[in-house]
Amino acid sequence: RALARDSVKQFSISPPDGERRISLLSGGNQQKAVIAKWLAAKPSALILDEPTRGVDVGAKAEIHHIIGQLVAGGMAAVMISSELPEILGVCDRVVVMRDGYASEPLLRSELSEERIMALATGEEMA
């Protein structure tokens, strides 16, 4: 209960009730609660598959902030996303997958919407 209470406070889960079932929360608060559950296991890395799909803009910003804090604290995070603005705004490195092949990693300084789309559509070879 103490862990749930602390997680609710740390991740601004609303309503602030550690006893509430996750399925009764809004989409964004469900996502934050799931991330909090994973972090309770003290992992060294997280794989986040579409972590902001179906959440409102405010929750999306909160989740991005949480991911940024985790990475700044030394955690490795792999994020899978089909949202280009999310990729450009959150990621330090990007690998584009197309037809079962992966591109060379693009560093933040190499990221652009045009470059990612060229790799995704095959206009630029991986």
Tokens of 87: 């990729």
Q: Are residues 99 and 76 in the same domain?
A: no
Say whether pLDDT at 26 is over 90. no
Q: Are residues 22 and 78 in the same domain?
A: yes
**Residues near 53 by beta carbon (within 8 Å), at least 6 away in sequence:** none
Q: Are residues 38 and 97 in the same domain?
A: no
Give the residue numbers spanning the domain of 58: 2-91
Q: Are residues 68 and 24 in the same domain?
A: yes
Q: Are residues 10 and 58 in the same domain?
A: yes
Identity of residue 52? T
Contact 86, 64 (CB under 8 A): yes
DSSP 19-69: TS-GGGS-HHHHHHHHHHHHHHT--SEEEEESTTTT--HHHHHHHHHHHHH
Q: What's the confidence (pLDDT) of residue 126?
A: 62
Overall number of domains in the chain: 2
Query: pLDDT digit string (tens) for 58-109?
Result: 889 989 999 999 999 999 999 999 999 999 999 999 999 999 999 999 999 9
Q: Are residues 38 and 65 in the same domain?
A: yes
The pTM (predicted TM-score) of the whole model is 0.80
Give the percent of the chain with pLDDT over 70: 99
